[in-house]
Amino acid sequence: MVDRLAERLLPQRCRRCEAGTGGPLLCEPCVLDLPWNDAACARCALPMTAPGICPACLHRAPRFDAAWAAFRLQPPIQHGVHALKYHADFGQARLLGELMARRLQARDAPLPELLVPVPLHPLRLMRRGYNQAAEIARVIARACSIALDLDGARRVRRTEDQIGQSRAARRRNMRGAFVVRTDLAGRHVALVDDVMTTGATFDELARACRAAGAVRIEAWAAARTP
Ligand SMILES: [Zn+2]
Ligand SMILES: [Zn+2]
């Protein structure tokens, strides 16, 4: 509350370089300096040297129709993602969400009708107290006027730690992890997460959304691992 009030009364300064911004959290040069993931695979957001489709997606396309990760998981984005996930730094959700929303509003393609944040397992949600994906999705939903589905998707199975696993192993590990109870018949949705690694989590959630009737499914992440 005090922060909000201070924000309105004091001229907004860039969070990184302290330059006056007249509103946004970062000044324009600092925004441009971020590790945007502009050259990436259109299907899985894998960072590439030029836009296109990566060999893995040509071999086996993901269940979602398109993927977009705003940034590469590099400093300073990496620090922001970490601070949000492990230290409840919700200012980072606002920053990431607003930067994502700006890009999304500028794109040519139609925006989805509904955002579905990747759910945490209830036990993990209880321990952490919040879902970082939902915090980012909330900011995008508000900025882009897209409906937000916070509890239609449930994580019904705990999955083992996937660090170091191959794409195929991650896919097997995620099998049956989600159920979607919202009726998505005929709808265009976007799944939202903080970090996209191989896309196995999005892939499994997309399977559940497809079963619930979704006709177009995009996968959006704040950051993509290389
Ligand atoms: Zn700046
Ligand atoms: Zn790909």
Counting ligands in written order, the one closest to the CA of 219 is: 2
- CA 28 to centroid of ligand 2, rounded, Å: 30
- How many Cβ atoms from other residues are within 10 Å of residue 46's Cβ? 24
Q: Are residues 163 and 151 in the same domain?
A: yes
What is the reported pLDDT for 161? Answer: 63
Q: Which residue has the tokens 């590439």?
A: 48
Q: Are residues 61 and 18 in the same domain?
A: no
Counting ligands in written order, the one closest to the CA of 199 is: 2
Q: Are residues 140 and 108 in the same domain?
A: yes
For residues 5 and 133, which has the higher predicted lDDT (pLDDT)? 133
Which segments of 78-149 are extended strands (E)? 114-117, 147-148
Q: Are residues 52 and 96 in the same domain?
A: yes
Counting ligands in written order, the one closest to the CA of 57 is: 2
Q: Are residues 137 and 184 in the same domain?
A: yes
Q: Are residues 39 and 29 in the same domain?
A: no
Q: Which residues surround ligand 1, an ion (CB under 5 A)?
A: 14, 16-17, 19, 27, 30
Q: Are residues 196 and 152 in the same domain?
A: yes
Supply φ then ψ for residue 186, to 5 degrees: 75, 10
Percent of the chain with pLDDT over 90: 78
What is the reported pLDDT for 166? Answer: 77
Q: Are residues 216 and 192 in the same domain?
A: yes
- CA 124 to centroid of ligand 2, rounded, Å: 29
CATH of the domain at 72: 3.40.50.2020
- CA 33 to centroid of ligand 1, rounded, Å: 9
CA distances from 167 to 57, 90, 171, 219 (A): 11, 30, 6, 17
- CA 42 to centroid of ligand 1, rounded, Å: 30
158-167 pLDDT, tens digit each = 876 666 677 7
Counting ligands in written order, the one closest to the CA of 19 is: 1
- CA 8 to centroid of ligand 1, rounded, Å: 19
> Of 145, 79, 85, whose CA–CA distance to 115 is shortest?
145
Q: Are residues 9 and 73 in the same domain?
A: no
What is the number of structural domains in the chain? 2
Of the pLDDT bands very low, low, confident and very high (cuts 50, 70, 90), residue 173 is confident
Tokens in use for 43?
Answer: 């299907």
Q: Are residues 15 and 59 in the same domain?
A: no
Q: How far out from the chain centre does Cα 128 lie?
A: 18
- CA 62 to centroid of ligand 2, rounded, Å: 8
Instruction: Lowest mean pLDDT of 113-117, 164-168, 205-209, name the range.
Output: 164-168
Of the pLDDT bands very low, low, confident and very high (cuts 50, 70, 90), residue 168 is confident
Domain that holds residue 166: 35-224
Q: Are residues 27 and 41 in the same domain?
A: no
For the chain, the farthest-separated pair of C-alpha atoms sits apart, in whole angstroms, at: 54
Counting ligands in written order, the one closest to the CA of 24 is: 1
Separation between Cα atoms, residue 137 and residue 31, nearest integer Å: 20
- How many Cβ atoms from other residues are within 10 Å of residue 213's Cβ? 14
Give the up-direction half-sphere exposure of residue 11: CA atoms within 13 A in the CB hemisphere.
7
Tokens in use for 206?
Answer: 């997309």
Q: Are residues 123 and 205 in the same domain?
A: yes
Separation between Cα atoms, residue 73 and residue 93, nearest integer Å: 15
CB 179 within 8 A of CB 153: yes
Residue 53: strand, helix, or coil: coil
CB 8 within 8 A of CB 18: no
Which segments of 82-187 are extended strands (E)? 114-117, 147-148, 153-155, 178-180
Separation between Cα atoms, residue 93 and residue 135, nearest integer Å: 6
Element (H, E) at 41: none
